[in-house]
Structure 1
């Protein structure tokens, strides 16, 4: 379902942070190939907040109305609800663009991927990141040479992060939340996309507070046969959200810092940003607009660069494996 100017009709289920960011990316680009066809969230306050910021976005009465108005449905609700909405959209002949993880139950996620085929994708923005494109270019140019190791480190002053306070009920719960699902999954996707399949897993995860999500992880695994060391911590750092993805080889090292900034290790032993490096606040809208281009191609049945359901499931398998160590 498209308008007369052929913009893709995208329906959105979920008026939280991710839904709002995607709407911002659409409205921030006058030539966007996508329009918001409908928005729904079970929380009236969330809908009102989006309505105040984007008054032209059509708000509808339920999820079924979103599906009816759309060619593609973006599922940006809490994880436990993802598969129900995704299945309803697919049953109506729509494509699906879903937040990760696909589900909170791995068996259900496997069954869904087997039945859904290529009719959807998952929102891992590193698939469209300018910083990641720089890393790929440097790898192709030989900046790393023969790979030796990958190190992933994430740290947070507190969890959930301040801007996620409204979603703390599920973001800090064992069933759906935690920084491993919410943040580490992105960096594991990046490892898989750039280096190869993820396998072998050892380490430990710490749940010091009953009923709440993890507070630290220390894990080793492989990506395409390359050793990976993964650490995550809540507390002990001043930053709300600090992360590095560092790839080392015999010829040098490169990294992605704080979600977006591509850096190379110099002769002085310091990492220096690339000439076109952008902080996350500037890089995120670019990546989201590129994600939307991929959504258009996916819905048209054309080749695209988005994370497939199968890729997302492979990441989820590792994430849930970490949380059961």
Structure 2
């Protein structure tokens, strides 16, 4: 008997295959691919700002989940919601895009007593294909402000994408400071879809990229 996560992965793969076979222009809404903060992060990594990457860390801390503006049954449910799915998958996709394939090694997922409620904590160990470690630290229902921080630690420095759009970084021996994002890198999925429909080169995250991110996501949730 298949697990729910296996079924979801198979469904994602079938959508990608069908869209490819039919020649349909297809895209997924992963907004980090188009914002100036995350695109500047990716550009700085490519330019060697941190040197050789030693570790990637994704921190997702929420004082409340669902947040006050997300109070509905599905986003609080174990089957369809949770912050690992709603937030984590965006960073999984970014890791795969910027740094390459990801393998899940170990995970500890914490759930409340309600069997239908989503996770309240996760600790996970992953790695890139070259063995570079990735750590995921997620908690909800805790004191303090919400913090989503994706950090690359390298031989030459540290770089963080904070709360989706802010950048912080520093070279070895220097303090970590705010880095201004390059506003000229800002883009939109809509603009890229228009390019694609015109037959031009376009930056689109298609169903295949979504499928690859979902494979990792479901291993973490399953």
Q: Which category of TM-score, normalised to the shorter sequence, fits these structures?
A: 0.7 to 0.9
Give the deviation of 1:139 after TM superposition.
2.1
The structure number with the bigger radius of gyration is 1
- Three-state SS of the structure 1 residue aligned to 2:77 is coil
Residue pair 2:12, 2:207 contacting (<8 A) in 1 also: no
Of 165, 168, 179 in structure 2, the residue corresponding to residue 274 of structure 1 is: 179
Return the alpha-carbon distance in structure 1 between the equivalents of residues 171 and 53 of structure 2. 17
Moved more, 262-271 or 144-153: 262-271
Return the alpha-carbon distance in structure 2 between the equivalents of residues 119 and 171 of structure 1. 29
Of 191, 194, 198 in structure 2, the residue corresponding to residue 293 of structure 1 is: 191
TM-score by length of 2: 0.87
The aligned residue for residue 122 of structure 2 is 217
Of 173, 177, 200 in structure 1, the residue corresponding to residue 81 of structure 2 is: 177
The aligned residue for residue 306 of structure 1 is 204
Return the alpha-carbon distance in structure 1 between the equivalents of residues 217 and 201 of structure 2. 27
- Three-state SS of the structure 1 residue aligned to 2:73 is helix
Q: Deviations over 1:102-145 (max 9, x none)?
A: x9822211111111115201000111121122222322332111
The aligned residue for residue 158 of structure 2 is 253
Of 109, 112, 126 in structure 1, the residue corresponding to residue 15 of structure 2 is: 112
Q: Taking structure 1 as reference, are residues 224 and 144 closer, same or farther at Cα in structure 2, changes over 3 Å only? A: farther
> Is residue 323 of structure 1 aligned with residue 221 of structure 2?
yes
Gapped runs of 5+ residues in structure 1?
Answer: 1-102, 279-285
Of 144, 148, 152 in structure 1, the residue corresponding to residue 50 of structure 2 is: 144
Gapped runs of 5+ residues in structure 2?
Answer: 1-5
Q: Taking structure 1 as reference, are residues 276 and 132 closer, same or farther at Cα in structure 2, changes over 3 Å only? A: closer
Return the alpha-carbon distance in structure 2 between the equivalents of residues 242 and 299 of structure 1. 38
Residue pair 2:169, 2:178 contacting (<8 A) in 1 also: yes
Give the deviation of 1:200 after TM superposition.
3.1
Of 78, 81, 94 in structure 2, the residue corresponding to residue 190 of structure 1 is: 94
Return the alpha-carbon distance in structure 2 between the equivalents of residues 267 and 196 of structure 1. 25
TM-score by length of 1: 0.60
Return the alpha-carbon distance in structure 2 between the equivalents of residues 303 and 176 of structure 1. 34
Give the deviation of 1:270 after TM superposition.
3.5
Return the alpha-carbon distance in structure 1 between the equivalents of residues 25 and 102 of structure 2. 24
Instruction: Point out which structure has higher relative CO (alpha carbons under 8 A, 6+ apart).
Output: 2
Return the alpha-carbon distance in structure 2 between the equivalents of residues 106 and 242 of structure 1. 29
- Three-state SS of the structure 2 residue aligned to 1:315 is helix
